[in-house]
Amino acid sequence: MTVSKTGFYTHEDCRKHEMGPGHPECPERLDAIQDRLLVSGVADALEHLEAPLASLNDIELAHDRLHVAALRGLTLRLVEEQAAGGPEHTSLDSDTSINAHTWTAALRAAGAAMAATDAVLAGELENAFCMVRPPGHHATRSKAMGFCFFNNVAVAAKYALQRHNLQRVAVIDFDVHHGNGTEDILAGDERALMCSFFQHPFYPYSGDHEPAANMCNVPVPAYTRGMDIREIVEMMWIPRLEEFKPELIFISAGFDAHREDDMGQLGLTEQDFAWITQRIKDVARRYCGGRIVSCLEGGYVMSPLARSVEAHVRVLADL
């Protein structure tokens, strides 16, 4: 049996983390994606791999030790309280909370991104998609926020630079929200280039004010449509990426910019996500042997999320 060139990383532990009834960042997101990939036949073309647990030493490439220790401590305390009939969740902010399984799920999500990095750099895969949760791009060096605990893509980017000694990695973020955590961790690191667009003004109300030189941030107003986004990618992202010549490209793949996703107000369709993925893939094939590691971020309405991931993965897998 030949190894397929697109890896698909996930783990059942990623479904066990949940933040309470009615929360948009829910385990059912992964079910919707998995069902769509199975029904469409896309799943058959992928190499299915289990997300390992990340080591704390690797997590701490991108996060303060105190942040990691605090999250672990909160989890242990929650488990103890639950054993005594206590609450199922501990809130970290108004929209982000942990349950007894969050710690392990977060280690799996970051572990998937690093395992995919290892496999892609070893030439075992051309690229990979990590169907993981919790998402990561709002998690800063020292803070969990916006449904995010560890910054999966930023951890993997630092891992590629520090453990694999790469000289240049790029991060592409097409979530509707600004990846403030990724910017916090990578800003000023000349070995990294981050390209993003995001609805503005909008949560987390950042990204538009004097970004570091290695940030290519493009704030866009609500109701911006796909053709305008394509022009931004062509005119602003691609020249920066070509000048930078990345050795590996990471994608923070958020699909909440879809016009049917009411978490935001942008007007993209799954065809736009496919087009963006193809342009990124063109750059990757020119400069880094096609090496891409993509990680799920946002996307909260099940049908457009599942359709958009299918479109994204089809392009990665050349289907």
Among candidate residues 138, 177, 200, 258, the one labeled active-site is 138
Half-sphere exposure of residue 49: CA atoms within 13 angstroms, side-chain side: 30
**Arithmetic mean of pLDDT over the chain:** 97
Whether 138 is catalytic is yes
Query: Is residue 25 domain-resident?
Result: yes
Q: What is the pLDDT of residue 247?
A: 98
Query: Is residue 135 domain-resident?
Result: yes
Which ranges constitute the DSSP H helices of the chain?
13-16, 28-40, 56-59, 65-83, 102-121, 152-162, 180-186, 226-232, 238-244, 270-287, 302-316
Average pLDDT of the segment spanning 248-252: 99
Report the share of the chain in percent with pLDDT over 70: 99
Query: What is the separation of C-alpha 2 from the centre of its chain, rounded to a whole number of angstroms?
Result: 28
Q: What is the pLDDT of residue 3?
A: 41
Q: What is the pLDDT of residue 1?
A: 34
**Spatial separation of the C-alpha atoms in residues 304 and 260, rounded to whole Å:** 6
CATH number of the structural domain spanning residue 173: 3.40.800.20
Q: How confident is the model at residue 266 (pLDDT cuts 50, 70, 90)?
A: very high
- By the 8 A CB rule, do 223 and 266 touch? yes
Q: What is the pLDDT of residue 4?
A: 58
Structural domain that includes position 292:
6-316
Q: What is the pLDDT of residue 187?
A: 98
- What pLDDT, in 10s, does the model give residues 273-308? 999 999 999 999 999 999 999 999 999 999 999 999
Query: Is residue 1 domain-resident?
Result: no
Q: What is the pLDDT of residue 317?
A: 98
Neighbours of 165 (CB within 10 A): 7
- Find where tokens 């909160």 sit: 74
Total domains in the fold of the chain: 1
**Spatial separation of the C-alpha atoms in residues 139 and 148, rounded to whole Å:** 5
Query: Is residue 235 domain-resident?
Result: yes
- What pLDDT, in 10s, does the model give residues 95-140? 999 999 999 999 999 999 999 999 999 999 999 999 999 999 999 9
Query: Is residue 87 domain-resident?
Result: yes
- What pLDDT, in 10s, does the model give residues 23-74? 999 999 999 999 999 999 999 999 999 999 999 999 999 999 999 999 999 9
- By the 8 A CB rule, do 236 and 215 touch? no
| Beta strand 192-199 pairing with 169-173 | parallel
